[in-house]
Amino acid sequence: MKPLEAKNAIRQGIATGPFAASWDSLKGYTVPEWYQDAKFGIFIHWGVYAVPAFGNEWYPRNMYVQGTPEFQHHVETYGPHTQFGYKDFIPLFTAEKFDPDHWANLFRRAGAEFVVPVAEHHDGFALYDCGFSGWNAVQKGPKRDIIGELAEAVRRQWLVFGLSSHRAEHWWFFNGGMAYDSDVQDTQYAGLYGPAQPETLPPNEEFLDDWLARTCELVDKYQPQLIWFDWWIEQPIFRSYLQQFAAYYYNQGAQWQRGVAINYKHNAFPEEAAVFDIERGQLSDLRPRFWQTDTAVAKNSWGYTSNQEYKTVTSIIGDLVDIVSKNGALLLNIGPRPDGTIPEQEEEMLLEIGRWLNVNGEAIYGTRPWKIFGEGPTRIETGSFTDTKRSAFTGQDIRFTTRKETLYATVLAWPEDGNVTIKALASDGNLFGRQIGKVELLGHTEELRWRQESAGLAIEMPAQSPCEHAFVLKISPAT
């Protein structure tokens, strides 16, 4: 589709309603129930940057920035940038072992309810059948429609399919290669490396029109129910384009009769118009509006590298529980190898999360926040890039969720003395609001001994936890 044709098609899509391209109209958006129920999804950073497997997924930028470890590594390993540039990694991005059905089955077994692969990262190489650039996975590298194949596989597992676009940052991503002789300046590769402009220079109309056309093309070709945007769309010059995209996408979702959602960071959207997302961070308290954390199984990178530093599954599950108790969802990222295999440790981490959810999922899926998110000594700092800074959760850290009249109290570590006291359920200030009739431990078949005192609901735990990591107490009212 030519740019003018794309513009006209987008205008027509907006004109169909019910949403117009204005904040006032878009503030009428409602987060779909499937999203609020799902709670847990898988993010996938996979692209050409997995080939060098050095540093992180910003290797394509940093390899052109003089003085960086990536620049030095690139010159020492591959030679000068005039002889071997980022484009030369593309034929090595083979994906010959990519099995979308294996991936989708793994994600289902992990307990995920939605899947969000990166359709195009900052590097400008599209993993889908892009009609606006020949630099895509259908025409080069794998010569497969990665996004299309994965969308079909995910839906065969009855999971919700979404995708992410990081195209906005491409405006400046390769500008390091403009400072000296490199292949970034070779006009025959402008479709991959361009525009390579300074970060301080606002994008021009041509780039913004292209951004909108590409993003709407993703909507039309793959019908994602979730679209995740990275941070740079918050630039003021994107505002009218964001309004156009959101109206177009929400109107398409209405035609499909499927709930759709947009993720944004910082203040790119009004909070009523899309779903707020925090990168590698959390909130300190319950948020009335539904929100999301995106983070990764690795501390050091989103994409595959040869020296990943992994989190523990205990910490990931603790974060999932904390986020859900505060009315959020967790989008957890993995980084496959360039051949299409998922690193074995990452597969096992996902399966371990799935085993925990098999026992405790009823305290997660389909729940809603309680009157308070929880109690305990461990404090969570609001903000991005804080998810590895908190102390380990203790046996006094408890998080609450509800479903109808049932209250779930998830204790984030096994208590050292074998007993749990829930202070929020003290007899003289019972937030539950009803007489407690039953206390159960998910995964444990025998009855628990408990008593409600002025200090709290005191529960005698069995000798052994029914699962690893956190454990869930199910509290029901008397009938």
Structure tokens at 460: 């005698």
Tell whether the model's pLDDT for residue 329 goes beyond 90: yes
What is the chain's mean pLDDT, rounded?
Answer: 97
Read off the pLDDT of each residue in 351-366 and give the average, rounded to a whole number.
98
Q: Is 37 exposed, middle or buried (0-12, 13-18, 19+ CB in 10 A)?
A: middle
Q: Is the pLDDT of residue 225 over 90?
A: yes
Looking at residue 299, its pLDDT comes to 97
Share of the chain above pLDDT 90, in %: 95
Return the pLDDT at 407: 98
Q: Please report the pLDDT score of residue 398 as a whole number.
A: 98
Has residue 345 got a pLDDT over 90?
yes
Question: Are 3-279 and 374-477 the same fold in CATH?
Answer: no
User: In this predicted model, what pLDDT tens digit does every residue of 67-81 receive, in sequence order?
Assistant: 999 999 999 999 999
pLDDT of 149-204, one tens digit each? 999 999 999 999 999 999 999 999 999 999 999 999 999 999 999 999 999 999 99
* Rg from Cα positions in the chain: 24
Q: What's the pLDDT tens digit per position in 89-141?
A: 999 999 999 999 999 999 999 999 999 999 999 999 999 999 999 999 999 99
| Least confident interval from 143-157, 243-257, 426-440 | 426-440
Question: Which is higher by pLDDT, 416 or 94?
Answer: 94
pLDDT tens readout for residues 385-394: 998 888 999 9
* Domain definitions of the chain by residue range: 3-279, 374-477
The angle, 0 to 180 degrees and rounded to 10, between the axes of the packed helices 313-325 and 344-360 is 50
> Looking at residue 170, what is its pLDDT?
98
Instruction: Determine the pLDDT at residue 471.
Output: 97
Average pLDDT value for residue range 405-431 = 94
**pLDDT given at position 258:** 96
The domain 374-477 having CATH identifier 2.60.40.1180: the answer here is: yes
What's the average model confidence in pLDDT over 412-416? Answer: 94
> How sure is the predictor about 307, in pLDDT bands with cuts at 50, 70 and 90?
very high
- In this predicted structure, what is the pLDDT of residue 430? 74
Residue 416: its pLDDT value, please? 86
The pLDDT score that the predictor gives to residue 401 is 98
Q: Looking at residue 56, what is its pLDDT?
A: 98
Predicted confidence at residue 2, as pLDDT, reads 73
CATH number corresponding to 3-279: 3.20.20.80
pLDDT of residue 3: 74
